[in-house]
Structure 1
Amino acid sequence: MNEQLDTEIMSYLMAIFNDETLCDEWLSTSKKPLGGISPLEILKKTNGKAKVLEMIVRIETGDFS
């Protein structure tokens, strides 16, 4: 997993996926809710962390749309 990735995001993802490979795959795959951009790319933008955390919360609550 990317060592520079925010620890809060890493913690949430590990709680969901419980597998670093799955976390890496999720982070590097484009997402429709992010405009077809991967979470790793969004994290480089202003308010990117908030957008990624919003997606994680949606996953945690069962909203996979």
Structure 2
Amino acid sequence: MKKYDGAVAVERLTVSLDTELADAVRRVLERDNDVLTELAGTLTSVYADGELDALRDEWA
């Protein structure tokens, strides 16, 4: 993945405008919450015990 000023290309960013400067507008980029952290563990009851291991074995 290509990096641009510390942000990875697949990250979600929020853009806001800082208009406190007299003659200019500054764009402020902030990282959104980590999607993986938000979603980790949310699908724990979707697969039966051992089913994911069998799927992984198919790809090996």
Question: TM-score, normalised to structure 1's length?
Answer: 0.17
Q: Indicate the structure (1 or 2) with the bigger Cα radius of gyration.
A: 2
Higher helix share: 1
Question: TM-score, normalised to structure 2's length?
Answer: 0.18
